[in-house]
């Protein structure tokens, strides 16, 4: 696959398929815009149509779903807000409404969940935290209790971070938990770009 083939995955409504078989998901839209922006090749796709598709995935609560009408989810919020950031269209985001929905993801133990009534997970320190950072609302969560939650998820003997305290560590949660700690200004970590 050539990088120009990414443009062939864009549909008429601005969405992107993940492959030649056509599954549609806002993650694919973000992946396409992110890759092309890093290569300075955004001109290969119709960015205004992509932005229109992201806006079609906006929900009443300020969050975004995987497709129009789908439930808001913090992972989808990240990819949609990230796509809007890449497109230079963050002005389309209702930052107070979305910031409110995202800050409600923080539970009493400091951890964050991806949607209402779900368990906290260390990886959401990235998905929620980066989205809040992109809309300048990261101060709407309690960074200290989040850091304590993440640190409780680590394996202090063998290293790594799990989804929740006491669970098995893995690379995925380790990477996103460390990135989340960076977003909240944890000491001795390099700053990470939220997009």
* pLDDT tens digits, 115-137: 999 999 999 999 999 999 999 99
**Could you tell me which residues are beta bridge partners of residue 17?**
24
The pLDDT score that the predictor gives to residue 1 is 64
pTM: 0.95
- For residue 54, the tally of other CB atoms under 10 A from its CB is 27
Please, are residues 17 and 29 in contact by the beta-carbon 8 Å criterion?
A: no
- The single-letter DSSP state of residue 73 is -
Instruction: Quote the mean pLDDT of the chain.
Output: 96
Handedness of CA 158, 147, 93, 91 (dihedral sign): negative
- Say how far apart CA 172 and CA 177 lie, in whole Å: 9
Give the tokens for residue 76.
């989808």
Mean pLDDT value of segment 32-47: 97
């Amino acid at each position: 696959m050539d990088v120009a083939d990414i443009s062939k995955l864009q549909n008429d409504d601005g969405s992107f398929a993940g492959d030649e078989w056509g599954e549609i998901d806002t993650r694919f839209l973000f992946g396409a815009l992110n890759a092309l922006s890093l290569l300075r090749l955004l001109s290969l796709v119709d960015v205004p149509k992509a932005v229109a598709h992201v806006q079609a995935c906006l929900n009443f609560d300020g969050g975004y779903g995987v497709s129009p009408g789908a439930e808001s989810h913090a992972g989808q919020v990240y990819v949609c807000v990230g796509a809007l950031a890449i497109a230079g269209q963050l002005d389309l985001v209702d930052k107070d409404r979305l910031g409110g929905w995202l800050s409600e993801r923080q539970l009493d133990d400091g951890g964050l969940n991806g949607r209402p009534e779900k368990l906290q997970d260390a990886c959401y320190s990235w998905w929620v935290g980066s989205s809040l950072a992109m809309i300048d609302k990261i101060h709407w969560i309690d960074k200290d209790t989040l850091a304590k939650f993440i640190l409780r998820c680590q394996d202090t003997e063998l290293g790594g971070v799990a989804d929740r305290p006491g669970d098995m560590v893995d690379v995925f949660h380790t990477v996103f938990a460390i990135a989340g700690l960076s977003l909240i200004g944890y000491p001795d970590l390099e700053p990470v770009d939220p997009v």
